[in-house]
Amino acid sequence: MCTHAVISLAATSLVVMNVAAISLAPLLDAAPAIPPHALAAMAAFVLGVVQFAAPKGTLPHRTIGAVWVGLMAVVAISSFWIHQLRLVGPWSPIHLLSIFVLITVPLAVWKAHRHQVADHRRIMISIFSGALVIAGLFTLLPGRIMHAVVFGQ
């Protein structure tokens, strides 16, 4: 997926939200692992959009990227304490996504350090698209906490 398509999809998802209905109360009342998980995901989403739009290879790109990597680690690791969807014992497919993130984020950083920019870009776009945009859209389904945050009860 090209960068412009990812930014378009991200922008469209923001436009679809009814900003007037947003309330953080359902999120703040959730199980203890959920608020830091969701807030880190939202911050990573915003920084990811900034990264796509900003010049690459600069000190700000690398600095924001380091923050983004930390946020994605929080998102992935915190997910192991979230068990709202249980398909195999306490686990769900989202936990496989977390393992994927914990493996591919360091791989993408390593690719950047080795100046393998095309691989770095492809991996980062894949992580952003799958772990933040697509997984994030699933959190907006009725009955989910983020649905209540964005659209009200």
For the chain, list residues with pLDDT below 70.
1-21, 85-89
Instruction: Supply the pLDDT for residue 87.
Output: 65
State pLDDT tens for residues 98-122: 999 999 999 999 999 999 999 999 9
Instruction: Supply the pLDDT for residue 18.
Output: 53
One-letter identity of residue 11: A
Instruction: Supply the pLDDT for residue 94.
Output: 86
Point out which residues pair with 91 in neighbouring strands. 88
- By residue count, the chain amounts to 153
Instruction: Supply the pLDDT for residue 153.
Output: 73
Instruction: Supply the pLDDT for residue 92.
Output: 80
